[in-house]
Chains A and B, each alone.
Chain A
C-alpha cells in the first residue's frame, strides 16, 4: 500500500496501481485522522516547503517514523537525508518494500522503540546500508547538523550529545571523518574569530614593525628611523646602507602594540565566539569531530535480540584486579614458591563456554540474576588475600595464595557444589569448565602469561 502526498492531482502513480493500493492525501492531518499504515510514502510537488513539512511530520510520527519515503521531485539537500531517495520504478519499489517487511519481522521487541534510541536502531535496521550523514549549514551554530537525528528524537535532545552517547554505547560506529572543528567552550558554536592581540595589554591595535641592524656600528632600530630621502642611512653612524647582507640585515621582525608600546615577536591569539560573544584562549576550545555513522554489530544485536546488557557485569561484585597486576602477582608467587619450597599457591580458572548463547534461552534479566547469585557465592568462598581477574567476558581466574594441591581440591569441590545450584537454575544448559593447578605442578621454566595461555588453551 502506498500513501501519496501531493497538493495537485497527478497521474504519476498510475503505473504503480497494479502492484500497490494507493491512497492520495493533500495534507498530513487528513492522513493522521485515518492512520493507515502504508508500505511506503510518496511525496510529490515542486513546493520544497510542502515536501519538507510532510517529511518532517512522517519522521517525527510515533508509528510511521521508519517507513520508506520517496520523493517524486527534487528536494532540498537537508531533506534528502530524511528520504529514501527518488521514487524508483514499480518493480524496484516492490523489492524495497519487501526487504523492509522481512527485516521488520526479524526486529525484536517492538515496544522498546518508543525511546528515541530505539527509533534510531529501528530506522537503521530497516536500511542495512544506511549511512548517517551530517548536513553542512553555515548558518548553523555548529556548522553541521543531523536532520535524521533531530527528527527521530522529535527535537528533544542535542543531536551531537545523543550521538556521543550512542557511540559510547557502541550502538553506532563512525565510518569516515568529515571534519574536525573547534567549538566555543561555552555555547559549542563553531562561529569563531581569531585575533592577534598584544600579550601585555591584550589590545588588538598591533602593527608589524621591521627593524634594521647596521653592520658598521651595530645600531638596531626600526626601519623608519633609517629612511632618509629614499635611501637607508644609519641614524647613529650615518653610514649609507646599500646592500642587505653586507651593509645591514633584518635581525627581528616584531610587532609593536600601539596602545602600550610593548614590542613582541608573536602576539597572543584570542578567540571570540560570534554567538555568545565570550572570549577565550585557543587551548580552551573544544574539539569536535564530525563523522558519518552506521549501525554497529552491537546495534544490530540490539535490533534482533531486543535490549542488550553487558553479561559480564554479573560478575562485577567480585572485585577484579587488572590483568597486568594479576600476572605480576602470579609471577611473584611463582618465583617465591620456587625459592621457598614451603610456600604454596594455586591458580584456578573458570570458563563459561556458552554464555552468549544462553541469552537466547533465558531472559537477559534472569541470566544476569543467575550470574550475580553465582558471583555472590563465589565471593563467599574466597578469602581476603585471594585475587581474581577476568581475561575475557567469560573467563575468570583466581589466584589462591597458601593453597597446596589438597587445598585446591577442596576449593574445587566447594565451587562445584555451588555451581550445581547454578546448573539447576539454568536447566543444565550452562556449559562451564574448571581448571586448577597448584604451585608444585608448575614447570620451573613457565612464566605467568605462558601459564595462563596454556591453561586457557586446555579449557577450550
Chain B
C-alpha cells in the first residue's frame, strides 16, 4: 500500500512538476508527446466526418464505371472461392471484371483448380466476368498486380488478396468516390473474419477496429492517410498506370502510397479516400508465432521503405507540409522511434526504480492505457461500428489489450533492428528472393 502511494505520488509529481526533468523525460515520449495528440487529432477528424455525414443529405449518382478486381492468389486453395463469390455477389449495376492471378501455378494447383471450378458459376451472374491468369514463373505479389493491371479493362482497379472477402456494397460505395476526378485511391475498413478462432485473433480484431478503422477514417479526412493496404486497395486505373504500377520489393503497398503522396505538392487536389461502407474481411494469423512473423515483416518493412526506398522522397517540397508533418509524426516518431523509446524507458525504469515501485508504475501505465482504449472502444462502438452486436464481443478482451499493445511495440523495435542489421526485407513470403534482390537495396 505504501509503495502504491509512493508510485502515485511519483506519477503526480511527474505530471505536475516539470522541473523534475528526469521523470518527465521518461513519461513524455511514452504517451503525452506521441500518442495523445495523435489520438485527439484523429478523433476530432472522425467527429467532423460523422457530423457532416449526419447533416448532409444522402445523394447517390448513377455512376457505375466498369470495375476490375485483381486478386493475387498464391496458396489460398479453396478459400479463394469465397473471395470471388463475394465479388460476384456485389450489388453493383456496372460490369465487374475479376482477374485472378495465380502466382507459381505449378506449386499452387489447388488454388488454380478452385478458381476453375468457379467458371461455370460466373455465368449465373449477369455483368460479371472471371479471367484466370496462371503465372508459371513465381514472381511475387508485385508481378501479379502489374500483370493484372496490364490486362484490366475497368476504369477502377481493385488490388485484393486471395484470402479477403467483401461486403456486397463494397464496390458500389467505393466506386461512387471516383466520380470526383481528384480521388485516385480509396480504401475501407478491414475486419478480422476469424476473430473468434483464438485470443490472438480477437486482439488483432480489436486492433483493426481502433487503429485501421478509426485511425484511417480520421487521417483520410485530413488527407494524410498512412497506407492503402495491399490486401484492399481501390485505385483509379489511369492514375496507377501513369505512375508505373507497383514497384519491386516488399511493402509495395506503402511504397505506392508514398509515391502517390509525393504528387501532392504538384497536384494539391489529389486525395486518398477512406470509405467506411466498403468493408472487407480478412484472416489474421491464428497463432502467436504467425502473428510475430507477420509483424516482423510489416514493421521491418517500414524501416526499409522509409530509410531506403523513400530516403529522399519524404520532404515537404514533394508531399506538402501536412503530409510531411504527419509522416514525421506518425511514420517516423510513432512507428519507428517510439518502440525503441518504450524499450529503453522500460529498461531504464526497471534499473532505476525499486522493484515494487517499478511494478506499480507499470500498473499505472497499464491502467492509463486501459482507460484510453476503453474510451476509444466505446466511442467506436457507439459512433462508427457497422456491426455493433458483433463488435460488442470484443469488450471481453479489453483488459488484455494494453499488454498486447506493449508486446507488439517491443516486437516492433526488434523487427526494426532486424531490418537494420539483417536486411529482413529479403526474407519475405511476398516474392521469391531473386526478385526481392533486384529491388533497390
| In the complex, A170 has a CB within 8 A of chain B | no
B60, A243: Cβ atoms under 8 Å? Answer: no
Interface residues of B in 164-195 (CB under 8 A from A): 165-169, 172, 193
Do A243 and B168 form a contact, CB below 8 Å, given A230-B60, A253-B124?
Answer: yes
Interface residues of A in 223-255 (CB under 8 A from B): 227, 230-232, 241-246, 253
B residues less than 8 Å from A208 (CB atoms): 124
Interface residues of B in 338-386 (CB under 8 A from A): 386
Most buried by B among A227, A232, A243, A253: A243
Do A243 and B172 form a contact, CB below 8 Å, given A230-B91, A231-B91, A253-B124?
Answer: no
| In the complex, B117 has a CB within 8 A of chain A | no
Q: How far, in Å, is A417 (CB) from chain B's closest CB?
A: 79
B124, A245: Cβ atoms under 8 Å? Answer: no
| In the complex, B20 has a CB within 8 A of chain A | no
Interface residues of A in 330-349 (CB under 8 A from B): none
| In the complex, B36 has a CB within 8 A of chain A | no
Contact partner of A232 among B166, B168, B193, B279, CB < 8 A? B168
| In the complex, B290 has a CB within 8 A of chain A | no
Do A244 and B60 form a contact, CB below 8 Å, given A230-B91, A231-B91, A232-B91?
Answer: no
A242, B169: Cβ atoms under 8 Å? Answer: yes
| In the complex, B106 has a CB within 8 A of chain A | no
Do A244 and B168 form a contact, CB below 8 Å, given A230-B60, A230-B91, A232-B91?
Answer: yes
Q: How far, in Å, is A399 (CB) from chain B's closest CB?
A: 62
Do A243 and B124 form a contact, CB below 8 Å, given A230-B91, A230-B169, A230-B172?
Answer: no
Q: How far, in Å, is B393 (CB) from chain A's closest CB?
A: 14
Interface residues of B in 99-143 (CB under 8 A from A): 124
B279, A242: Cβ atoms under 8 Å? Answer: yes
Q: Which residue of B lies closest to A250 (CB)?
A: B89
B residues less than 8 Å from A243 (CB atoms): 86, 165-168, 279, 281
A242, B168: Cβ atoms under 8 Å? Answer: yes
B residues less than 8 Å from A244 (CB atoms): 85-86, 89, 168
Q: Which residue of B lies closest to A244 (CB)?
A: B89
Interface residues of A in 252-275 (CB under 8 A from B): 253
Q: Which residue of A lies closest to B169 (CB)?
A: A231
Q: How far, in Å, is A329 (CB) from chain B's closest CB?
A: 58
Bound: A253/B124 CA distance, A: 9
Q: Which residue of B lies closest to A231 (CB)?
A: B169
Q: How far, in Å, is B282 (CB) from chain A's closest CB?
A: 12
A residues less than 8 Å from B15 (CB atoms): none
A245, B86: Cβ atoms under 8 Å? Answer: yes
Q: How far, in Å, is B200 (CB) from chain A's closest CB?
A: 21
Do A245 and B82 form a contact, CB below 8 Å, given A230-B60, A232-B168?
Answer: yes
Bound: A253/B123 CA distance, A: 13
Q: How far, in Å, is B195 (CB) from chain A's closest CB?
A: 12
Number of interface residues of B (CB under 8 A): 17
B residues less than 8 Å from A253 (CB atoms): 124
B residues less than 8 Å from A245 (CB atoms): 82, 85-86, 165
The interface bits of chain B over 26-62 (1 if a CB of A lies within 8 angstroms of the residue's CB, else 0) are 0000000000000000000000000000000000100
The interface bits of chain B over 66-89 (1 if a CB of A lies within 8 angstroms of the residue's CB, else 0) are 000000000000000010011001
Q: How far, in Å, is A246 (CB) from chain B's closest CB?
A: 8
B168, A241: Cβ atoms under 8 Å? Answer: yes
Bound: A244/B312 CA distance, A: 45
Tell me the dominant secondary structure on chain A's binding face. strand
The interface bits of chain A over 195-225 (1 if a CB of B lies within 8 angstroms of the residue's CB, else 0) are 0000000000000100000000000000000
Most buried by A among B166, B167, B279, B386: B167
B residues less than 8 Å from A246 (CB atoms): 193, 281
A residues less than 8 Å from B166 (CB atoms): 243
A residues less than 8 Å from B169 (CB atoms): 230-231, 242
Q: Which residue of A lies closest to B165 (CB)?
A: A243
A residues less than 8 Å from B172 (CB atoms): 230
Bound: A231/B171 CA distance, A: 12
Q: How far, in Å, is A182 (CB) from chain B's closest CB?
A: 24
Q: How far, in Å, is B34 (CB) from chain A's closest CB?
A: 36
Q: How far, in Å, is B382 (CB) from chain A's closest CB?
A: 18
A residues less than 8 Å from B165 (CB atoms): 243, 245
Bound: A230/B59 CA distance, A: 12
Bound: A155/B262 CA distance, A: 85
Bound: A128/B124 CA distance, A: 55
Q: How far, in Å, is B105 (CB) from chain A's closest CB?
A: 26
A residues less than 8 Å from B124 (CB atoms): 208, 253
Bound: A275/B287 CA distance, A: 69
A residues less than 8 Å from B86 (CB atoms): 243-245
Bound: A241/B124 CA distance, A: 20
Q: How far, in Å, is B197 (CB) from chain A's closest CB?
A: 14
Bound: A227/B168 CA distance, A: 12
Q: Which residue of A lies closest to B86 (CB)?
A: A244
A residues less than 8 Å from B193 (CB atoms): 246
Bound: A254/B82 CA distance, A: 22
A residues less than 8 Å from B85 (CB atoms): 244-245
Q: How far, in Å, is B125 (CB) from chain A's closest CB?
A: 9
Bound: A244/B82 CA distance, A: 9
Bound: A245/B279 CA distance, A: 15
Q: How far, in Å, is B403 (CB) from chain A's closest CB?
A: 30
Contact partner of A242 among B60, B82, B167, CB < 8 A? B167
Q: How far, in Å, is B79 (CB) from chain A's closest CB?
A: 11
Bound: A231/B91 CA distance, A: 7
B residues less than 8 Å from A242 (CB atoms): 167-169, 279, 386
Most buried by B among A227, A242, A253: A242
Bound: A232/B281 CA distance, A: 18
Q: How far, in Å, is B277 (CB) from chain A's closest CB?
A: 10
Q: How far, in Å, is B281 (CB) from chain A's closest CB?
A: 7
B residues less than 8 Å from A227 (CB atoms): 91
Bound: A232/B193 CA distance, A: 20
Q: How far, in Å, is B390 (CB) from chain A's closest CB?
A: 9
A residues less than 8 Å from B279 (CB atoms): 242-243
A residues less than 8 Å from B60 (CB atoms): 230
A residues less than 8 Å from B168 (CB atoms): 231-232, 241-244
B residues less than 8 Å from A230 (CB atoms): 60, 91, 169, 172
Bound: A242/B82 CA distance, A: 14
Bound: A243/B169 CA distance, A: 9
The interface bits of chain B over 276-318 (1 if a CB of A lies within 8 angstroms of the residue's CB, else 0) are 0001010000000000000000000000000000000000000
B residues less than 8 Å from A231 (CB atoms): 91, 168-169
Bound: A310/B165 CA distance, A: 75
The interface bits of chain A over 168-212 (1 if a CB of B lies within 8 angstroms of the residue's CB, else 0) are 000000000000000000000000000000000000000010000
Q: Which residue of B lies closest to A245 (CB)?
A: B82
Q: Which residue of A lies closest to B60 (CB)?
A: A230
Q: Which residue of A lies closest to B125 (CB)?
A: A210
A residues less than 8 Å from B386 (CB atoms): 242
Bound: A208/B89 CA distance, A: 16
Q: Which residue of A lies closest to B279 (CB)?
A: A242
For the complex of A and B, list the 4 residue pairs with the smallest distance between their C-beta atoms, beginning with the closest: A242-B167, A244-B89, A243-B167, A244-B86
| Residues of B participating in the A interface, judged by any CB pair closer than 8 Å | 60, 82, 85-86, 89, 91, 124, 165-169, 172, 193, 279, 281, 386
Query: Could you pull out 23 A-B pairs where Cβ atoms are within 8 angstroms?
Result: A227-B91, A230-B60, A230-B91, A230-B169, A231-B169, A232-B91, A232-B168, A241-B168, A242-B167, A242-B168, A242-B169, A242-B386, A243-B86, A243-B165, A243-B167, A243-B168, A243-B279, A243-B281, A244-B85, A244-B86, A245-B86, A246-B193, A253-B124
| Residues of A participating in the B interface, judged by any CB pair closer than 8 Å | 208, 227, 230-232, 241-246, 253
14 new A-B contacts, CB < 8 A, other than A242-B386, A243-B279, A245-B165, are A230-B60, A230-B91, A231-B91, A241-B168, A242-B279, A243-B165, A243-B166, A243-B167, A243-B168, A244-B89, A245-B82, A245-B86, A246-B281, A253-B124
